[in-house]
Amino acid sequence: MSGPLTDDHLPDATVRYAEHEDGVIDLHLPDEPAGQMVVLVHGGFWKAAYDRRPSRQMAAALASEGHVVATPEYRRVGAGGGWPATGDDVRRAAERLPDLLASIDVPVGPMTLVGHSAGGQLALWLATTALEISRVVALAPVCDLREAIRLDLGGGAAQAFLEGADIDDADPMVLLEARPDAAVRMVHGRDDEDVPVSLSRGFVARHPWAELVEVDGGHFEVIEPGSPAWPVVLRSLAG
């Protein structure tokens, strides 16, 4: 996992996009904005036990590269979440973000989505909506929900997330049969035991317009600033 949080990793501001408890967005702001707005969707197998706080080190590191970084919280399984409520939250956060940033005089640039693990599923799903998105960088994404269920990833996490819902409404593997306007790149550790790289390999085999970059390491190196995988993540953001 990422290193311990310090005061340097705390958000510069937090804004609210919905009235429920989890309807907030952390903002990490650069000293000199480079013009890109990064929406960072955290992972944690959609479970209430895992929130946005461990992603703050990554958000701070991306802000130091000149990106305006917005990390939305969302309702998760066990605390009012699951499909479609979780998807509704991240979409509403992304939709409201430009106005929220403008209201506090933060420059609004093209939107890039970065999602890790279950957050990768949400980021890829957002690329199928009407949002104007320039790029999706999916880090060790749960990009095939049927395979996640077959492999029992996260101890039944996908089953719990989808309880009572139609899997095809949430599964990037199915929804992205039509190529989105946004560019899609995946970065995945070859030794990932939490979300095997075989999911991303299967995705690009079915959707060859997507790009997969495999890196050394497991599930968390792709979100750890300073890891060998980190320069690959930064290059993926730069296109």
Residue 94 located in a structural domain: yes
pLDDT tens-place string over residues 69-123: 999 999 999 999 999 999 999 999 999 999 999 999 998 889 999 999 999 999 9
DSSP code of residue 138: E
Residue 128: pLDDT band by 50, 70, 90 thresholds?
very high
Residue 17: pLDDT band by 50, 70, 90 thresholds?
very high
CATH of the domain at 141: 3.40.50.1820
Residue 99 located in a structural domain: yes
226-235: long-range pairs with CB below 8 Å, 24+:
229/187, 229/189, 230/61, 232/187, 233/137, 233/139, 233/187, 234/65
* Model confidence, pTM: 0.95
Residue 42 located in a structural domain: yes
pLDDT over threshold 60, residue 6:
no
With b for 16 or more beta-carbon neighbours within 10 A and e for fewer, the 129-139 pattern comes to: eebebebbbbb
> Which domain does 78 fall in, by range?
7-238
Q: What is d(CA 57, CA 69) in angstroms, rounded to the nearest whole number? A: 11
Tokens read off for 131: 């949002």
Residue 95 located in a structural domain: yes
Residue 214 located in a structural domain: yes
Residue 117 located in a structural domain: yes
H or E segment and range at residue 102: helix 85-103
pLDDT tens-place string over residues 84-94: 999 999 999 99
Residue 2 located in a structural domain: no
Question: pLDDT value at position 8?
Answer: 62
CA proximity to 138, closest of 223, 75, 21, 206: 223
Rg of the chain's alpha carbons, rounded to an integer?
16
pLDDT over threshold 80, residue 175:
yes
How do strand 68-72 and strand 24-28 relate by DSSP bridges?
Answer: antiparallel
Task: Count structural domains, the chain.
Answer: 1
Residue 147 located in a structural domain: yes
Q: What is d(CA 230, CA 232) in angstroms, rounded to the nearest whole number? A: 5
